[in-house]
Copies of this chain bind each other. A is one copy, B any other.
Amino acid sequence: MDKKYVYLFSEGNGDMKPLLGGKGANLAEMTNLGMPVPQGFTITTEACTKYWDDGERILPEICDEIFGYITALEGLTGKKFGDTDNPLLVSVRSGARASMPGMMDTILNLGLNEEVTESIARRSGNPRWAWDCFRRFIQMYSDVVCEVSKKAFESKIDDMKRLRGVRDDTELSSDDLRELAAQFMDEFKASQNTDFPVDARSQLLGAIKAVFKSWNNERAIVYRRENNIPGSWGTAVNVQEMVFGNMGDDSGTGVAFTRDPATGERKLFGEFLMNAQGEDVVAGIRTPQSIDRLAKIMPDVYAQFVSISDKLERHYRNMQDMEFTIEKGKLYMLQTRDGKRTPNAALKVAVDLYNEKMRTRDEALTLIDANSFDAVLHPVFEEDALKAAVPVARGLNASPGAGCGAVCFTAEDAVERSAREPVLLVRLETSPEDLAGMYAAQGILTARGGASSHAAVVARGAGICCVSGCGDLIIDEADRSLNIAGHIVREGEYMSINGTTGNVYLGKIPTADPDLTGDFSTVMRWADEVRRLKVRANADTSRDAAKALELGAEGIGLTRTEHMFFADDRIPAIREMIVSNSAEQRRAALDKLLPLQRGDFADIYRVMLDRPVTIRLLDPPLHEFLPHTDKDIRALAADMSPLYDGLRGTLTGKGLRVSDEVWQNLLFEDLKSTVRGLHETNPMMGHRGCRLPVTYPEIAQMQTRAIIEAAIDVREETGADIAPEIMIPLVCEAKELRFVKDIVTGTADAIIAERGVGLRYHVGTMIEIPRAALLADEIAIQAEFFSFGTNDLTQMTFGFSRDDAVKFLPAYYSNNIFESDPFQRLDRSGVGKLVKMAAELGKSARPDIKLGICGEHGGDPSSIEFCHGAGLDYVSCSPYRVPTARLAAAQAAIRGGSGSGK
């Protein structure tokens, strides 16, 4: 039997999301539940995949199948597609398996042309409605199918409003709209060199192709990358009989949530516009009314809607996000889906659904999006500072949290500046083109749009605070300045916004940590009950360690010893160590570093006490520490000149006069040439990691001494059973590890014997070089633990460096070669294969080997799921990601993630 590419709503059901997309499956489900849904059919996601495989063509047999379903729909509705007398008008909407709000395209009122519009204008007695529909259709079709710029159309509407002296679209007359439709068709012809299509079937095919095509538009690709949605899924297309919210004052359209998506509170939350079509609500052009108002305007319709929304929430056992239209007093449901919510709302909804007995503990845990979860840890304004601050304006509290940053007016600027400082993106309104800039910002402030506007939806999803629809805000993009209630703020100056209240402030307001009790602690407790993976943190200081502990870390998975060296008072000693000409000079410099390192480690032990602390030996290329300017080199040469006093003495002893200036110059020149000699062509693949102690064993000796002595000291001081884990980085060969391990154990054992104590310690290695993963069985013989350094492992496995890949990765995303950033989400098929291989080989040689991960992937939910499946013992991530990791580890355990999928 041939494959079926089209399903009537009545043929599908809610479990068919992979095939019908979320929207299609839910429309089918609502149809089955007997709810008032305009009928239609869904073209499957497989048809989309096939469209791409067939070279962006819809094969004739699939066209035939579609037209067959148009005939069926004609039968259901008693209308005729393309007919002048009783035309069937349809909407064409995308609908992927995972909800991608606003990412892809929608066309309403399809089936109209001038003649049909004339006819329905006459027959409906509502010519304003008819011409409004037609002008909307031209606008959407031109934009979506033919990529005619929206601006041209919008400026024509603005011109017409100015001409007529009106403010709102609704105030334009039917003649105005008819005139606009004519102008729009001219614009289309001017831009496309062809007339606007009059044939309904070719309109339909054009629209379907455009939806398929929109699956791979730039913003959809960005969204998928941010939300871990595979490009192979494709989108379905829903073709549905039109119902009209713009037929007059007894018509309208709206969206609503069964609970408040910002707080999770259990009450109907939404907004609507009378005499409007769907896009008017989300586009933020007119400011909509709260859903409560509907109870006053149309009590019956409101009651029916409340009943339906209750039923839907109970049916799906989750907070629902619904779209509806009221046509001449009759309610139609256009969509329902699980509602996007803020991370805090997600917490509350999960706990409430559990308490309401709708969900089990494990189900409730999986309802929380681990990817945006760390937003619950986002700073709020410091209370005292906030009290002192006076808001200059107020907008809608569109996405909660506190945001403070340098003002940027375009997404590009925001992306660029965010590399240097926190930014606040300020826009008239946002559109999907702004996505990258929105993700880069600490907060988003818009002049227009409501709680369902693009800015609000995206910000909530990403856990970024947002104030939208701030009416007192006037933006002068060309001048790179804004005027907010009379205050001028220039690009780069700081502002602060409170997404929880909607308040807007000038300047910086200090932030404070959020409250981590209540629902947060409930969910964390659940997560800890469920998860198998331990969660540690990467922490280089006792401050980081304390924060990690507070957020639930069970140990330190990575302390980067080099980070301690960058401080101004320490860098001279490490520089001396690097440029030393002999082991003796090197030891002298290391002697200066020893007490500093010992102190740092002791501070960390004092925080962590009995908990495991993994300390990595010096890792980065030495030249990272070097002075690069002549001035710095000269300063270092002066610092080091006492080391050369003997030599100078030899010269002067032989009667040579050596002036201070000449001598300093000589040392400077020598040092400069040493620095030059340390230059590396590919520092990432250079003299670093365990290659340093292979060439300079003194470094590992000093670091081991600091680690062991500090442990003994703090054990004596606190009585805690401290057992440091010493980690050797960048190993590629078992004999190399053994060589460095021998230095470490030789030093450690001597100190322990000398101090006459029985300190335990462990020596392990990072697996971050492909060869180490390939030969992990040999390496495990020398290592008590493996920690996967997936940052470097990703670089080496892909053969590109993170620093350099920024130049070409955008082309990889836009050409659909990569779907996500392998540095953010662990590449399961390549890097993951190595990790699994290494885990298996390591266990084969040492069954009790401890396995962890300390790359940045350790805080990424998808990667954590992989780690669970690969049998690792723990993940380690930055302190603020610890709660996310606890949750993600629990979800992985619940889902039984094997980590083997893609």
Whether A694 contacts B732 by the Cβ 8 Å rule is: no
Contact of A681 among B684, B778, B834 (CB under 8 A): B684
Is A812 an interface residue when CB atoms closer than 8 A count as contact? yes
Interface residues of A in 812-835 (CB under 8 A from B): 812, 815-818, 827, 829-831, 833-834
Whether B739 contacts A694 by the Cβ 8 Å rule is: no
Interface residues of A in 764-823 (CB under 8 A from B): 768-771, 774-775, 778, 792, 795-801, 803-805, 807-808, 811-812, 815-818
**B contact residues around A680 at 8 Å (CB):** 803-804, 807
Closest residue of B by beta carbon distance from A695: B811
Interface pick from A211-219, A685-693, A705-713, A880-888? A685-693
Whether B732 contacts A799 by the Cβ 8 Å rule is: yes
Is A735 an interface residue when CB atoms closer than 8 A count as contact? yes
**B contact residues around A807 at 8 Å (CB):** 680, 686-687, 695
**B contact residues around A687 at 8 Å (CB):** 804, 807-808
Measured CA separation A792–B831 after assembly (Å):
18
A800 to chain B, nearest CB (A): 5
Closest residue of B by beta carbon distance from A804: B686
Whether B682 contacts A735 by the Cβ 8 Å rule is: no
Is A730 an interface residue when CB atoms closer than 8 A count as contact? yes
Is A362 an interface residue when CB atoms closer than 8 A count as contact? no
Contact of A796 among B691, B796, B816, B818 (CB under 8 A): B796
Closest residue of B by beta carbon distance from A622: B807
**B contact residues around A795 at 8 Å (CB):** 685
Whether B804 contacts A682 by the Cβ 8 Å rule is: yes
Whether B800 contacts A691 by the Cβ 8 Å rule is: yes
Whether A733 contacts B817 by the Cβ 8 Å rule is: yes
Interface residues of A in 823-870 (CB under 8 A from B): 827, 829-831, 833-834
Measured CA separation A829–B776 after assembly (Å):
11
Measured CA separation A739–B817 after assembly (Å):
8
A191 to chain B, nearest CB (A): 23
Whether B815 contacts A685 by the Cβ 8 Å rule is: no
Is A391 an interface residue when CB atoms closer than 8 A count as contact? no
A741 to chain B, nearest CB (A): 12
**B contact residues around A831 at 8 Å (CB):** 771
Measured CA separation A639–B115 after assembly (Å):
61
Interface residues of A in 275-325 (CB under 8 A from B): none
A773 to chain B, nearest CB (A): 9
**A: interface residue count bin:** 35 or more
Interface string of A45-81 (1 = CB under 8 A from B): 0000000000000000000000000000000000000
Measured CA separation A827–B770 after assembly (Å):
13
**B contact residues around A774 at 8 Å (CB):** 797, 829-830, 833-834
Whether A686 contacts B735 by the Cβ 8 Å rule is: no
Measured CA separation A808–B811 after assembly (Å):
36
Is A507 an interface residue when CB atoms closer than 8 A count as contact? no
Is A736 an interface residue when CB atoms closer than 8 A count as contact? yes
Is A683 an interface residue when CB atoms closer than 8 A count as contact? yes
Whether B812 contacts A736 by the Cβ 8 Å rule is: yes
A796 to chain B, nearest CB (A): 5
**B contact residues around A733 at 8 Å (CB):** 817-818, 830
Contact of A797 among B691, B694, B771 (CB under 8 A): B771
Measured CA separation A774–B775 after assembly (Å):
14
Whether B682 contacts A830 by the Cβ 8 Å rule is: no
Contact of A808 among B681, B694, B830 (CB under 8 A): B694
**B contact residues around A808 at 8 Å (CB):** 687, 691, 694-695
**B contact residues around A771 at 8 Å (CB):** 797-799, 827, 830-831
Interface residues of A in 314-359 (CB under 8 A from B): none
Whether B817 contacts A736 by the Cβ 8 Å rule is: yes
Whether B830 contacts A732 by the Cβ 8 Å rule is: yes
Whether A803 contacts B681 by the Cβ 8 Å rule is: yes
Whether B735 contacts A830 by the Cβ 8 Å rule is: no
Whether B792 contacts A770 by the Cβ 8 Å rule is: no
**B contact residues around A829 at 8 Å (CB):** 774-775, 778
Interface residues of A in 179-234 (CB under 8 A from B): none
Measured CA separation A143–B44 after assembly (Å):
85
Measured CA separation A797–B792 after assembly (Å):
12
Closest residue of B by beta carbon distance from A735: B817
Contact of A800 among B685, B768, B833 (CB under 8 A): B685
**B contact residues around A805 at 8 Å (CB):** 686
7 of the cross-chain contacts (CB-CB < 8 Å) are: A681-B683, A686-B800, A694-B811, A730-B799, A733-B818, A771-B831, A796-B799
Seen from chain A, the residues whose Cβ lies within 8 Å of a Cβ on chain B are 680-687, 691, 694-695, 730, 732-733, 735-736, 739, 768-771, 774-775, 778, 792, 795-801, 803-805, 807-808, 811-812, 815-818, 827, 829-831, 833-834
Q: A680-B804, A682-B684, A733-B830 are in contact. List 12 more A-B contacts (CB 8 A).
A: A682-B801, A686-B801, A694-B808, A694-B811, A730-B799, A732-B797, A732-B798, A736-B817, A769-B797, A770-B830, A770-B834, A778-B829
